[in-house]
Structure 1
C-alpha cells in the first residue's frame, strides 16, 4: 500500500505542471488550475501504477519497482522552478519532457525482473532524479535561450564600413579633468529616480509613503512643497516620468504581480490635476513580463519603455489612444 501512496505523491508535481501548461490563459493562469492539476496528476499516476500491477505477476517487489518508476515524476519539480522563474523552454515543452521521462521509467519497470532495491534503491532514485534532472533542465534552458537569441546583423558591407570609418578617425588622449559641481542643494531628504518636467517647475521622484511602500511624489521648486500623488494607491509605485507640460506622469508599479509572476510590473498613467481630486491612475500595459522605466517622447502621445519577457529585455514604444488612456503598440 505504501508504494501506491508514493505514486500519488510523485504525481502531484507533474499534475501541477500540467495545470499550468494546459490552462486556457497561459500568460497568467488561475491558481485553481494549479490546485486542481496537482491532485489530478497524483490520482492519474496512482491509477497507472495500480493498473500495471494488476497484470499477471510473479515478482513480490513489482509494486516497489513501480514506486521507483513514479519517482521520475519528481522531474517536474525543477521544471516548475523554471516556469516560476519564467525561463525557457516554457510549460508545454517541460510537461512533454516529464511525460516522456515517466513513460520510459514505467516501461523499464514493467520489463525489468531484477529486485527493486528496497528503501535504499528508492532514495537513490529520488535524489538521482532531483540532482540530474535539475542540472539537465537548467542546461536545456540555457541552450534554448541561446538558440532563441537574435544575433546582430553582420554583413560584409557593414564590416567594411566600420573599418573604413575607424581608419579615418584621429584619436587623441583625453585630458584629465576634475569636474566638480559648483553647488549642491538638497531638495528633499529622501527619494530616488528624480525627473524634471518640461516646465522646470516641478521635480518628480519616488520615496517611501506613510505605509513604507514606494510612492510617486512631486516637489514644487518655487515653494519646496511636496505632494504624494499615489499614497492612496496599492503596491510600490516607482520611477515617475512626467510629460513635457507636467500634467500627466507615467510610473511603473508592482500592484499587478501574481503568485506565479512575482516580478511583474506594469505601467500606470496618472493625471496630476485629477489625482488632486482623488482620481486614481490607470493601467496602460497588460503583458505578463516587467514593463518599466517609461519615458514620454517629444510627441505628446508617444512613449517608450523597457519590456521584459523570457529573461530578455527590449525597448518598445507605443501611442496613447486619446480619450481612453490605453496603449496602441
Structure 2
C-alpha cells in the first residue's frame, strides 16, 4: 500500500518529462535565490559588524564617521510605524469586516474588491506622490511625522484589508450558523465569534504589513523626509528621518567608513524586522492553540 503513491509518481514523471524539468528549474531558482541572499547577508555582516556600538545607537548623524549614529532616524522609524499602525489597523480590519460580513455580493462589492487588489500592487512611489499632494500641500501638514505616517498607511492599507479578508474567510461557516442559532445578532456574531477566530491571521497580516512599511524609503523621499536630522521628533508635527533614508544617505557617500555605517544600520533594521516577524509567528502560535474548530 505504501509503495503505490510512489509508483504512481514515478509513472507520472516518465509520462510527463516536462514536470520533472519544471521541478528542476524551480529547485535551481530556489538555490540561486538563497545563495544570493546568504551572500548579501554575509557581506553586510562583515562590513557592518565592526561599526556596531553604543555610539551608533545613541548618537545622531554626523559628518565624522566615528561620531555618526542612527538615534534620530531610528526614533523617527518607530514614530512612523506606531502612528501607521494606529491609522491602518482599525480602518483596514473594519473595511475587511464590512466587505466579508455585511456587504452583499453585488457589482459594487466586486468593483471595490478589484480596486483594493489593484491598489495592493501599486508602486509605493505613487503613494508618495499622492501623500505629497494631499497631506503635505493640500492639508498643510508639511514634512512632518504625521504626513509620513499617513502616506505609509496608504501604502499598507490594501495589504491589511486583503490579509484580514483572508483570515475572515478561513473561519468555518458553522461558527456563524451556531451563533445565529443561539439568537445572537450579526454584530455579536462578528465581534464575539468570528473576529476572535480570525485574530491570528489578522494580526499576522498586520505585523507583516507594518514590517513592509518600516522598510519603505521611496514614499518618504517623495513627501520630503530629511536625510540629516540631529534631534529626536517629540510630536507628530516635527520633521523626521527614517532608517531606510539614513542607510541610503550613507551608502551614497564616497567614504568607505560610511559604507560600513550603512551596513551596521542595515543590521539594526534587520533585527527590528526579525522581531516583528517573530511577533507574528508568536501571535499565530499562541492564539491558534486556543481556537479549535
TM-score (norm 2): 0.25
| Structure number with larger C-alpha Rg | 1
Q: Which has the higher contact order (CA 8 A, sep 6+)?
A: 2
Which structure shows the higher helix fraction?
2
Which structure shows the higher strand fraction?
1
TM-score (norm 1): 0.23
